Structure 1
Amino acid sequence: MSSIPKCTEVVAAEKEESNGDQDAFPYKITKVDAEVNKELLKYFTGERTGFVQVGPKKWFLPSGYEREAAKYYNFRVKPDDIFVVTFPRSGTTWMQEMVWLLENDLNYEKAAETHLKRRFPFLEYSSILHKKTKEEFLRENTHDEEKYQAVQNMDYPAWKIFDELPGRRFIKTHLPFSLLPQNLLQVGCKVIYLARNPKDVAVSFYHFSRSSRTLGYVGDFPRFWNYFERNLQLWAPYWEHIKEGWSRRNEENLLFLFYEDINKVISSAASKKVSNFLGKKYSDSEYETLAEHLDIENFRRNKSVNLDNIKGLGVLISGEEGFVRNGKCGGWKDYFDEELNARADRWIDENLKDTDLKFPGLN
């Protein structure tokens, strides 16, 4: 795998690519209402400029997205690419690890040696890390050249990394289908869409938003849910995201999965289903070994999938929950009181009434 370019190259690349061809992007990008934006910046301290909404569905994204929107939309897809597409905190990392291992002959040794973020880069991460937040990380790491360089490289554009990678590319994204290349499912590549019920997603996203300084959430969970329900969270609207995936579930190159279903049958059935979709086949014992590797207790201790590598850079806040939490279904029950749960149920029912989409074991 190609190494990440040095910091001087990163700066040059940012200058070169910052004026992407927005004419090639079909949607209007507008700033969030000024008063709403002011409030959001107070509670989401990782973003320093503000938030934008994209197209008629008003996809909610940070200011940095506008700079690279066309790059994602016009990203050159290859027939042997593999995408994992999810709304955040839907089992993304777990699915990435499963997919990479299935496609690489269950090479656990290589997986352990190379962090997942290098094996399976995050397409739009360079839009998420605000430049001023990055400057803070740089100042905090000036005493250590290696750490300083690591921070400098953090927001090197993944679409540029993918252009440099030889062989099969593994691509993670939280962008919805309408903001991704429109030929994504026609060129032959494989796309796995993983969906998780909104209550568990919100709880997991809340903890991650508190722990990551790139997001820097400083409020409580009820306030977080309020923003989530109002589509004022990154990559929202949640329902539009899920419904776009659901509407394409019968296309040949898309595998739509519910986190709740595969979480229940992680022993081997889930791996077999993904394996069959990818055209790979292993023995029953190999699937069982993979299931053990992906078991939440082992997964939580797996340094090549956790974010321990950036914790030392000051990106994660000590004392908050880890990147890989408990992985269980129904953990939302510890966060919703009776009133908030009733409100959430009304919101869910309203958004499900005109669709045959049903989450396993939501209530």
Structure 2
Amino acid sequence: MESSSSKMSHVSKRNESEEYRSDSEIDNKLKEIMSSVLGKKGAAVTDLYQYEGFWCPLARLEGTLRAQKHFKPQPNQVILSSFPKSGTTWLKALIFAIMTQSHVSEPTNPLLTRLSHECVPFIEFDFRSSSPKLNLDVPLVATHISYTSLPKSIINSGCKIVYLCRDPKDVLVSTWHFIRKVLVNEEFSAVRDIPLEDAFEFFCQGLSFCGPYWDHLLGYWRASSESPERILFLKYEDLKNETGYWVKKIAQFIGYPFSLEEEDKGVVQKIIDLCSFENMSSLEVSKNGMIWLEKNGVNTMEIKNNTFFRKGKVGDWKNHLTHEMAMQLDQILEQKLSGSGLTFNVPLPSIR
């Protein structure tokens, strides 16, 4: 029989959830933003609204507002942050595996039967659901929210943040492919034929989910420069080139270091192999499964899991962008990052 204290706990959580879902303050804030900012259409052929300097589709904007007001980090929680299509699926898997490293070789490992997006919820999307999709007591969540718009509860908590960035040319190409694969139903049929040239122009104007891209980068880069003990800034290219080194670096940073015995037993390599593109993309759940985007706990769009796996290569942009397009984007980025110390021409320094 359920105890009275347990019943009270369930009632309290239900009331808190209902209050959270019917937040009139946030509803009014959304209306204010929508009325004061003219929605612009980006490459996804959907309205984007500017909030605190960044462009968001309505669902992500709503989730951001709710997270800012209601999100409460767990003790020692790790926040994985990135700009969309910067390697998030892979980094989620790596950090989840690091934090559950004792189970890396078990046949019941969640990463073998669930997409990493199900194992590691997005604050601005899955947080809105009344119950988490997977609860393994792993204090790890992810977000695409810009640093300046992160919930103050995260900033004040001292949570460790791992930020992953990627060459914007690959981000652009990956985003273009992703959008065309996701939004291919009748409602968004126009997306299927959107020219890459148009997507390129939108990206250069900053009109993309969570864009402008360079402002998103700079927010986390400057914060990591000021608080390197709290924010680890990673490049996708470095992670690909020296995966073993960076997996150990991440593990040390988030408080899950590998012992010498674990390294001798090959735990690091087992994590790398488990989370490799080749392994993850070949899993049954990745080939035939699907996840749902939610709005206030209601499923609104299904996304096939294989959509998250295309190539995972560095420099694939060369197969899609013209030399002139690449030069233009490089020049924009160089101008925007000027004086920051951040560059994509040389790798970040490694501490050996």
The TM tier, using the shorter chain, reads: 0.7 to 0.9
SS of the aligned residue for 1:51 comes to strand
Asked whether 1:334 is paired with 2:314, we answer: no
Change (3 A) 1:193 1:311: closer
Check the 8 A contact 2:273/2:279 in 1, yes or no.
yes
User: Counterpart of 2:263?
Assistant: 283
User: Counterpart of 2:248?
Assistant: 272
| TM-score normalised by L of structure 1 | 0.74
Change (3 A) 1:234 1:190: same
Q: How does 1:127-138 map to 2 (within 5 A)?
A: none
Equivalent of 1:60 in 55, 60, 64? 55
User: Counterpart of 2:137?
Assistant: 167
Alpha-carbon shift at residue 77 of structure 1 (Å): 1.7
User: Counterpart of 1:145?
Assistant: none
| TM-score normalised by L of structure 2 | 0.76
Equivalent of 2:289 in 309, 323, 327? 309
CA distance in 2, matches of 1:68, 1:270: 31
Check the 8 A contact 2:72/2:154 in 1, yes or no.
no
Change (3 A) 1:189 1:203: same
Alpha-carbon shift at residue 53 of structure 1 (Å): 0.7
Letter aligned with residue 170 of structure 2:
D
User: Counterpart of 1:120?
Assistant: 120
Structural RMSD (CA): 3.6
Alpha-carbon shift at residue 222 of structure 1 (Å): 1.3
Alpha-carbon shift at residue 189 of structure 1 (Å): 2.4
Change (3 A) 1:360 1:263: farther
SS of the aligned residue for 2:209 comes to coil
Alpha-carbon shift at residue 163 of structure 1 (Å): 12
Check the 8 A contact 1:185/1:254 in 2, yes or no.
no
Alpha-carbon shift at residue 339 of structure 1 (Å): 2.4
Equivalent of 1:51 in 9, 30, 48? 48
Check the 8 A contact 2:80/2:143 in 1, yes or no.
yes
Change (3 A) 1:193 1:307: farther
Change (3 A) 1:335 1:115: closer
CA distance in 2, matches of 1:24, 1:51: 18
Equivalent of 2:200 in 215, 225, 229? 225
Change (3 A) 1:243 1:31: farther
User: Counterpart of 2:350?
Assistant: none
Select the structure that is richer in helix. Answer: 2
User: Counterpart of 1:157?
Assistant: 128
SS of the aligned residue for 2:80 comes to strand
Q: Deviations over 1:150-190 (max 9, x none)?
A: xxxxxx824x4469957343211111111111242442422
User: Counterpart of 1:260?
Assistant: 237
Check the 8 A contact 1:81/1:170 in 2, yes or no.
yes
Alpha-carbon shift at residue 317 of structure 1 (Å): 7.6
| Matched pairs, number | 309
User: Counterpart of 2:109?
Assistant: 110
Letter aligned with residue 44 of structure 1:
A
Asked whether 1:249 is paired with 2:224, we answer: yes
Q: How does 1:286-301 map to 2 (within 5 A)?
A: 286-301=267-282
CA distance in 2, matches of 1:183, 1:315: 31
Asked whether 1:85 is paired with 2:85, we answer: no
Q: In terms of mean alpha carbon deviation, does 83-92 or 244-253 score higher?
A: 244-253
Q: Deviations over 1:172-225 (max 9, x none)?
A: 111111111124244242211011111011111111111112895330211111
Equivalent of 1:234 in 197, 209, 218? 209
User: Counterpart of 1:101?
Assistant: 97
SS of the aligned residue for 2:176 comes to helix
Check the 8 A contact 1:79/1:188 in 2, yes or no.
no
Q: Deviations over 1:255-292 (max 9, x none)?
A: 111111111012x2121111111222131411122222
User: Counterpart of 1:21?
Assistant: 25
Asked whether 1:198 is paired with 2:195, we answer: no
CA distance in 1, matches of 2:246, 2:199: 32
Q: Deviations over 1:119-146 (max 9, x none)?
A: 21122236xxxxxxxxxxxxxxxxxxxx
